[in-house]
Chains A and B, each alone.
Chain A
Amino acid sequence: MRHVVSILVENEAGALSRISGLFSARGYNIESLTVAPTEDASMSRMTVVTSGSDEVIEQITKQLNKLVEVVKVVDLSEAEHIERELMLIKVRAGTKEREDMKRMADIFRGRVVDVSDNTYTIELTGHGAKLDAFIQALDQSAILETVRTGASGIGRGNRILKV
């Protein structure tokens, strides 16, 4: 099963490699990993999307908690949560394709953020599945470049991960 694990970690050099090292050393999957400082600059918030049986996920959270720099760990998938990912995608958009491309971006609520003679760069946010769907919907030969951030997650309602 796919799980979204959120981690609050001291914003210290090496913390990221400790966490990614833990995943590789113990053979856990990482589908994506995002990290950036929080409103408190001394702390970073990390979202790891992983997969595994319940036992494996339990071990992952326990092992993460054991790391000295990890402040808190939550498996967001245990309850309602929101997941978002940002994608920037550069597509071929010559005079022929322009209109179609723009329409497609609109349908997916994307925004064209850069334009050249023959390209568009489209910004799209949403659940990973939506980004996948957008890519699927395009003429594959029109895709020049994609870059995705990986998922960030947050609990719904009063579920708060903070010290």
Chain B
Amino acid sequence: MDRIKTEELSGAEIVVRCLQAEGVEYVFGYPGGAVLWIYDELFKQDKVRHVLVRHEQGAAHAADAYSRSSEKVGVCLVTSGPGLTNAVTGIATAYMDSIPMVIISGQVPTHAIGEDAFQECDAVGITRPCVKHNFLVKDIRDLAVTMKKAFHIATTGRPGPVLVDIPKDITAQRHEFLYPDSVTMRSYNPVTKGHAGQIKKAVALLQEAKRPMVYAGGGVILSNASAQLRELVKAMGFPCTNTLMGLGGYPGTDAQFLGMLGMHGTYEANMAMQHCDVLIAIGARFDDRVIGDPKHFAQNLRKIIHIDIDPSSISKRVKVDVPIVGNIPDVLKEILKQVDVQKADQPALKAWWKQIDEWRGKDCLKYDRKSKIIKPQYVLEKLYEITGGDAIITSDVGQHQMWAAQFYKFDQPRRWINSGGLGTMGFGLPAAMGAQLANPGATVACVTGESSIQMCLQELSTCKQYRIPVKIINLNNRYMGMVRQWQQFFHGNRYSESYMDALPDFVKLAEGYGHSGLLIDKPEDVEPALRETFKRKKDLVFLDFLTDQTENVYPMIPGGKGITEMILSEEL
């Protein structure tokens, strides 16, 4: 076989060529000694654009949200040692939420590995438990194919972050460059097609259901299955709930949507989960924040169908009757093809909806609308109104995150960007940057708290440099609100270290970074401030809302309790 000898490139050039071949638009990163050759090559070209963050955690979060808010793959580039360790929180965040992402880290030269060299750390060892896979490239001949494998593994099966650790000497050596179109690995062949027999069983159960419930999670978003999910729910006339990660997977404004379920889910969603007779779980994993105590959940008998790409998610916490391992859109299409809507038990369904409407009557998300102090829920309702429900919302972690999930109705997937699995404070702002760059024309708002925003605040500078016009909705209650809430409920009102003293003047701070800011402390100013802010398409605006310090998130299932053992606001 004739092979055309291609020109020899340096390892650094190979890395950049691989990124170009993958169609990578942006690399989020921060330079340092071990990646200088790669930065040199980035400098010499203009296809792959580099976004210089101010801390490597921000690079990982931005790349992660770039993935979450689009169908593209986020890429992040960090140097060895502290560069990599700074990125670890962001990598773990992506891992917990199964986000496809490729991280390239520099490493000390191969001959120095293991000698405690300057800025050496065992990147592969440190990240092993929080990546889908990782590689240390020890031979330049493996470089291109390893890059290909990284993108392949990150994006197929259950997605996840993949790290490629590249020693500095490899980036300087030269080798011919051949980027493979595809790779096959005998040890890695994710299942995609659901088992026909299981699908048949699922169809039968769905047709017989008297009290059906559809429980859809982040897997629906990741696999782009919203259209099929909607079609199934609509065709069958079933109620549907989404997990925190699944919001937008089913339209939030639809009448068949019961809201989010789980620890801060709606009364009706949690009640329907417990009392249904057929539950179809789609791309969700029955985790502790969703169903609470599995023993309590098992007290009511129901048949469970579970569709997921990852077999290890099935029957992990809850025993399942009909497991279907496969790509969600394909499985749902198959179910839709076979299901006979005429066979649905209409009288039973009618009675079930009557029951659900009774639960809905509790109006579990109600709050004091006449308050003289700004209620955080009110800000979110207005945010929803003024952005026409059309914004991409990123969030940090805490009460504000739960209120955003409860009060902003997401009709589309990939609009709600939050750290559900790891619960990483500091995620919101860098995530907003990534989401904005992936969706240049979109309205992007970061809903945050005064504690969370301070964890990656430095990225305000990145936003200035790249003119990223995200809007920051700071629900400032002067407390780590979620911590304070737990201390109020479960620790006898002892607010140990949860008060945020010595807060900066956020308006001046925003101005210091070259942006504008506004302090809002009266309910009547909320709407005008939001209106003005969202007119300013080109500017980052920091809105500092002074909100009620005592407000709590309801309903709430206390940790370890059953899904129906909710605390409702009126019970306090």
Hey, which bits of chain A sit against chain B, CB under 8 A? 9-10, 13-14, 17-18, 21, 25, 55, 58-59, 62-63, 65-66, 68-71, 163
Select which of A9, A65, A68 is within 8 A of B311 by beta carbon.
A65
Chain B nearest CB from A19 CB (Å) reads: 11
Does B315 contact A58, Cβ atoms closer than 8 Å? yes
Given the known inter-chain contacts A17-B125, A17-B128, A21-B128, please indicate yes or no for A62 contacting B187, CB distance below 8 A: no
Q: Tell me whether A66 and B310 are in contact (CB under 8 A).
A: yes
Task: For residue B286, give the distance in angstroms from its CB to the closest CB of chain A.
Answer: 13
Q: Which residues of B contact A58 (CB under 8 A)?
A: 315
Taking CB atoms, residues of chain A closer than 8 Å to B319 are 55
* A68 near B312: Cβ-Cβ < 8 Å: no
Residue among B153, B185, B187 with most chain A CB within 10 A? B187
Give Cα A126–Cα B540 distance, bound, in whole angstroms: 72
- State A71–B189 Cα separation when bound (angstroms): 9
Task: Give Cα distance in the complex from A65 to B190, angstroms.
Answer: 10
Partner of B188, one of A13, A18, A68: A68
Interface of A is mostly: helix
CA gap between A53 and B133 in the complex, in Å: 28
Nearest-Cβ distance from residue B163 to partner chain A, whole angstroms: 12
Among B128, B185, B315, point to the contact of A55 (Cβ < 8 A). Answer: B315
Tell me whether A68 and B186 are in contact (CB under 8 A).
no
A25 contacts which chain B residues (CB < 8 A)?
Answer: 129
In the complex the two chains form, what is the Cα distance from A10 to B186 in whole Å? Answer: 9
- Counting CB contacts under 8 A, is B132 at the interface? yes
With an 8 A cutoff between CB atoms, is B364 at the interface?
A: no
Least CB separation from A42: chain B residue: B186
Task: List the B side residues contacting A65 at CB < 8 Å.
Answer: 311-312
- From B124, B153, B186, B312, A14 is in contact (CB under 8 Å) with B124
**B residues less than 8 Å from A13 (CB atoms):** 136
* A68 lies within 8 A of B185 (CB): yes
Contacting pair B186 A163 (CB below 8 A): yes
Q: Is residue B193 within 8 Å, beta carbon to beta carbon, of the partner chain? A: no
Would you call B350 an interface residue if the criterion is a C-beta within 8 Å of the partner chain's C-beta atoms? no
**Chain A residues positioned under 8 Å from B129 (CB to CB):** 21, 25
- Which residue from chain A places its CB closest to the CB of B138 in the assembled complex? A13
Count, chain B residues at interface, CB 8 A: 19
B contact residues around A17 at 8 Å (CB): 125, 128
Docked pose: A144 CA to B316 CA in angstroms: 45
Q: Which residues of B contact A (CB under 8 A)?
A: 124-125, 128-129, 132-133, 136, 153, 158, 185-188, 310-312, 315-316, 319
Task: Enumerate chain A residues within 8 angstroms of B125, measured Cβ to Cβ.
Answer: 17
A17 CA to B124 CA in the complex, in Å? 11
User: Contact at A59–B186, with CB atoms within 8 Å?
Assistant: no
Task: State A133–B99 Cα separation when bound (angstroms).
Answer: 52
| Residue among A59, A68, A71 having the largest count of chain B Cβ atoms under 10 Å | A68
Report the separation of the CA atoms of residues A69 and B135 in the bound assembly, to the nearest whole angstrom: 11
Is A18 a contact partner of B312 (Cβ separation < 8 A)? Answer: no
Q: Are B315 and A71 in contact (CB under 8 A)?
A: no
Chain A: CB-nearest residue to B129: A25
A68 near B124 with CB under 8 A, answer: no
A28 to chain B, nearest CB (A): 13
Which chain B positions have C-beta within 8 A of A18?
128
A63: nearest chain-B partner, CB-CB = B312
Given contacts A14-B124, A17-B125, contact A59 B187 (CB under 8 A): no
CB of A62 within 8 A of CB of B185, answer no
CA distance A6 to B179 in the complex (A): 35
CA distance A63 to B129 in the complex (A): 12
Given A55-B315, A59-B316, A63-B312, is A70 in contact with B187 using a C-beta cutoff of 8 Å?
Answer: yes
B312 touches A62 (CB 8 A): yes
> B315 to A68, Cβ gap below 8 A?
no
Contacts of B128 in A (CB 8 A): 14, 17-18, 21
Shortest distance from the beta carbon of A110 to any chain B beta carbon, whole Å? 39
Complex partner residue of A10 from B153, B187, B311, CB under 8 angstroms: B187
Q: Are the C-beta atoms of A69 and B187 separated by less than 8 Å?
A: yes
Bound form: Cα–Cα A47–B116 in Å: 34
A68 with B316, Cβ < 8 A, contacts A18-B128, A25-B129 known: no
| Contact between B312 and A71, CB atoms less than 8 A apart | no
The residue on A at minimum CB distance from B314 is: A62
Q: Which 7 A-B pairs have the closest CB atoms?
A: A62-B312, A68-B133, A71-B187, A62-B311, A68-B188, A63-B312, A25-B129
In the assembled complex, how far is the CB of residue B322 from the closest CB belonging to chain A, in whole angstroms? 16
CA gap between A134 and B57 in the complex, in Å: 57
